[in-house]
Amino acid sequence: MPTVSIVLPTYNRAYCLDRAVGSVLAQTFDDWELILVDDGSTDETPALRREFAEALRDRYRDVPSSRLGASGARNLGVSKAKGEWIAFLDSDDVWLPEKLDLQLAALNAEPNAAFCYTDFFEFDDAWKILHPRHLIPAEMVDRIYPQLLEIRNNLITCPSVIARRDFLIECGGFNEGMKVCEDIDLWTRLAQLAPVAAVRIPLTGVHSRHNHQFPYADSLLGRHMLYSAAVQRDGALSADFVEGLYGEAFATFIGVAHMKGDSAEAQLIEAAEKPISVLLQTDPFAAESAIHNLVDALRECRAH
């Protein structure tokens, strides 16, 4: 049974898939299995899968799926995994050779940790390094759970994470109903269960396209949905902290309306602060559509 199961979902990325798999083959730690979840690719990916199966043999597991999306594909890969630890890698990202070795050493030093993540660097299509190091400040490592809630920029990128399989199963894996921020949502749930380890070296290379995959407004709204869900799960957060999160979420809805150039909608949202606050606290993941419905109703009332 392998120590680490590497879950690699892909969809129509034959042009870079061999690069990602090559970074797995280059690992100095070699007790792993690779689970490739092809989520219905229509390019040359099936041919590459056959090559990987022949080259890797019993270290490779081929898991075809049909348009589950990234979260669904990752969850499917986890369900097929045999290793104690699950490492995630996206098909356009890469690892440096020492990544798994150094993370497992960090986890041995923190045996109760739910997961371990690393610093990362960004590169573009031409392999030009755009940002050589996304540093995790040392003071944040021991209190990463509140930092995940407080900080807008994601400190933890998915391909940097190696997580204990039992904890992933216990917390339900990735939320397949979320369009954005589903990775941060999972990290917050794992961080509530157990300590988190970190390797403050940029061992993960992230293709810069990730930063532009979703509109900025959607990302902000998605983040505040998971903030609200985290508050519901964790009764230990201070009242001031909770109030600050809800206040920022409410301000975000107003700000997004302004970003769309709809000052009238922003005014309507501001006028409906009390019912919107209730929506955020009762059903955070339904709040966005409910708020839009409320704004439409208010707009219709004002028209009459």
pLDDT tens-place string over residues 103-151: 999 999 999 999 999 999 999 888 888 877 776 665 555 555 555 655 4
Q: Is residue 214 predicted with pLDDT exceeding 50?
A: no
Give CA–CA dist 136/151, Å, rounded. 12
Taking the complete model, does pTM exceed 0.85, yes or no? no
Structural contact between residues 226 and 249, judged by C-beta atoms closer than 8 angstroms: no
Q: Are residues 188 and 280 in the same domain?
A: no
Name the pairing type of β-strands 94-95 and 60-65.
Answer: unpaired
DSSP state of 159: G
Q: Is 64 exposed, middle or buried (0-12, 13-18, 19+ CB in 10 A)?
A: middle
Asked if residue 279 and residue 135 are part of one domain, the reply reads no
- pLDDT, residue 227, reads 58
- Do 49 and 198 belong together in one domain? yes
Neighbours of 225 (CB within 10 A): 24
d(CA 225, CA 27): 37
Q: Looking at 212, 244, 261, which one is the last position of a domain?
A: 212
pLDDT of amino acid 4 = 98
Are 59 and 162 members of one domain?
Answer: yes
